[in-house]
Amino acid sequence: MPVPWFHVRLKSAERALRDGRIDEAYRVATTPDLREQRRTQRLWDKLVRPLLARARVHALAGRFDAALADLDKLRTLDRGEPDVTNLRQRILSEKQSDDARRAAENQAYDRAAQQVREGRLESGRLAVDRVDDTNRRDRLANELDVRAHRSAQLLAQAEGALKAKDPLAAFRHWREACTRHGHSSGTEAFADRLATAVCDWLRCCFEDGRLELFLSTLETVAPLRGVNASLFDECARWAELTQSAVAQLATGAFSDLRQTLLRLRGSRVTARWLDEAFEAAEQVRSGRDRLIASPLGLVTPTSAVTAARDRHSAIDVPRQAPGTGSPNKRPLLLLIDGTGSALLLTDEVVRIGRAGGSATIDVPIPAELHSHHADIICRGEDYFLMPRGPARVNSAAIKSAMLRDGDRIALGDHARLTFHKPSVKSETATLKLSDRCRLPMDVSYVVLFRDTCLLGPQVTCHLRTREGASRVVLFMRGGQLHARLADSEGHPASDATPLPLGATQQIGDLSMTVTEYTVGGDKLA
């Protein structure tokens, strides 16, 4: 008589259990059609001890998931209580502690890896030593050793260049050591000596009249200003005045040029070329005055004489008597003592282009641009850049873009502007021009004037002043520009004061003058 098939399977399960093949025995014994067999129940009883023993071995070895899987099998068999419950609780507790330990190890590794990637060589070394995993610690330590070795090689090259009186080569080696391999006490100590050597070289370069090299190098070594900013303040001041003088010479503003050269001569610098340039500017100015005082000037129409004066210094003779005319919808020049000059434009469409080009534009930039290169259009609270020539915003080429506070605008190859809209309470925005793109009359800001314009030292102001603590609000009333003091919340703190064209007004500790903006004696469109 044939043996029933389930007896054959049960016999194979019993044989698997005797041979130590616990999982195979468990799989057969839990087959649904065998569960109710009395012989199967006896097999389940025999499975309890090996499963429980194996679970304990897994737990001791830290294989908690495997141990819990064996306990789950005992729960399926409904065997082993209360030993199964006690062991499960102990394993879960140990697993939780082990997970916390592993998380702490991973965090320590991640912190160390971050510091190594950021090139913090010395603090990174301390962080690597705290990593418990030997393999991962060794990998990070090896990477750190390579970085430190290469940084030391570059510093040695920088030392050699500094001894050879080549501070620019020393700067390049030092910069590569810092950016590619990391910072250490060695790079920081060398940076102090390097900053002094570079400043001395810049001074010599300026005094020798190598101005283009001076300006480009000052921009190149900008990272050193973070090492010792006070060392570079004087060079930065020379660069600012030099760029103003270049713009004034280009536009024929010789009276302003003479004042700028005079300020350069008074800034503790001795340069033969500077004395010669000042003498030449003085000769041009005095020659102009002699021509106007000559019999020829006596028969020249007064308007022509005024225009000639304006071509040399647009603020020497106001184009309009103080208090007359409406400044609304006309380009205005705002001069703030101790801060600089700003162009105020109120049109919703502002045209930008090349200074001296054939197109009618609002912002004439002295750079290689199309005559009409781009428009900035205001729609409600938003501003849009609509280029007609090559343009980038934050280094990305664009066909049009909505501008946001802090966006860096590049027009063509050389014109650089930064868009700012610092206050959500005002629709007014500003364009900060790079030093090489300043407009005639040393204009470094263009104010896209909508409702109000806030002046002050705070970051929320449209124009940040360098002197004083007053916050001043500019606004239009009846077609006339007015100003008043504001408190820290922007609320009025004084009565409104009109700003007539050509008159200097003192508002708080700010002294300001508003005139029509002119280039070469002609009003901007």
Supply the pLDDT for residue 132: 78
Supply the pLDDT for residue 445: 93
Print pLDDT tens along the chain (525 aa): 344 677 788 888 888 888 889 888 888 888 887 777 788 888 888 888 899 899 999 999 888 999 999 898 888 888 777 888 888 899 898 888 888 888 888 888 888 777 777 667 767 777 777 777 788 887 887 877 788 888 888 889 999 999 998 999 999 999 888 888 878 888 888 988 999 999 999 999 999 989 888 888 888 888 888 777 777 888 888 888 888 888 888 777 777 787 788 778 766 677 888 888 888 887 886 777 676 666 665 555 544 544 554 444 333 333 333 333 334 567 899 998 877 789 999 988 899 998 887 778 899 998 889 999 999 988 778 888 889 899 999 999 988 788 999 999 999 988 999 999 988 778 999 999 988 888 888 899 999 998 889 998 888 889 888 777 888 999 988 888 999 998 877 777 888 899 998 888 898 888 889 998 875 434 444
Supply the pLDDT for residue 314: 36
The answer to whether 418 touches 431, Cβ cutoff 8 Å, is yes
Residue 260 lies in a domain: no
Domain boundary among 20, 50, 81: 81
Supply the pLDDT for residue 277: 87
Residue 472 lies in a domain: yes
Supply the pLDDT for residue 406: 92
Helix intervals (H) in 400-501: none
Instruction: Kindly report the pTM of this predicted structure.
Output: 0.42
What is the chain's Cα-based Rg?
Answer: 39
Q: DSSP letter string over 360-427?
A: --SEEESSS--TT-EEEEEETTEEEEEESS-EEETTEE-SSEEE-TT-EEEETTTEEEEEE---TT--
Supply the pLDDT for residue 300: 55
Residue 258 lies in a domain: no
Supply the pLDDT for residue 465: 86
φ/ψ of 203, rounded to 5, equals -60, -45
Residue 425 lies in a domain: yes
Beta strands in 144-272 (DSSP E): none
The answer to whether 269 touches 203, Cβ cutoff 8 Å, is yes
Residue 107 lies in a domain: no
Supply the pLDDT for residue 267: 67
Residue 217 lies in a domain: no
The answer to whether 218 touches 185, Cβ cutoff 8 Å, is no
Residue 238 lies in a domain: no
Q: What is the pLDDT of residues 253-294, one digit of tens each?
A: 777 787 788 778 766 677 888 888 888 887 886 777 676 666
b/e for 251-261, b at 16 or more Cβ within 10 A? bbbbbbbbbbb
Supply the pLDDT for residue 299: 54
Supply the pLDDT for residue 416: 93
Residue 300 lies in a domain: no
Supply the pLDDT for residue 437: 86
At 411, list the tokens: 């027009």
Domain boundary among 81, 108, 129: 81
Supply the pLDDT for residue 520: 42
Supply the pLDDT for residue 298: 54
182 sits in the region (left: phi over 0; alpha: psi -120 to 50; else beta) called left
CA distances from 168 to 152, 153, 156, 259 (A): 18, 17, 15, 33
Domain boundary among 55, 81, 107: 81
- The tally of domains found in the chain comes to 2
* CATH assignment at residue 465: 2.60.200.20
Domain containing 365 equals: 332-523
